[in-house]
Amino acid sequence: MKPVNLAEKLAMFSSHWDPHVVADYNGNDVMVVKFQGEFPFHVHPDTDDFFLVLEGEMVMEIEGQPPQTVRQGELFVVPKGVTHRPRAAQECKVLLIEPKGEPNSGDPATAAPKPRI
């Protein structure tokens, strides 16, 4: 048990859309990731999707709804089964929480690996 410095963890990589596990929490992966550009529309049929913006801002697009801007210090939860995609015009740093093994794209064939740092 020790504190996790999120800024230090985020400084360890420069890639976008590449989540890195920084902690475990009740069977979930706690991850940091950098967004820039658009992620493909996707769905998680069995789990909600949790986003906490640490720095910058992102836009969450939900199929059939107006886009929602999510700013630094705000969180956004996409309910399971809802088609969505995050995007960011400028680099945005985000904390994610997902059940262990949940593919970030909703599909194991297209998911990014989740290295532990």
> What is the rounded distance in angstroms from the CA atom of residue 60 to the CA atom of residue 67?
6
75-78 and 49-55: which strand pairing?
Answer: antiparallel
- Is 112 a residue whose pLDDT tops 80? no
Domains of the chain, each with CATH number or no CATH: 6-99 (2.60.120.10)
Q: What is the pTM of this model?
A: 0.91
Summarised one tens digit per residue, pLDDT across range 34-85 is 999 999 999 999 999 999 999 999 999 999 999 999 999 999 999 999 999 9
**H helices of 1-117, where?**
6-10
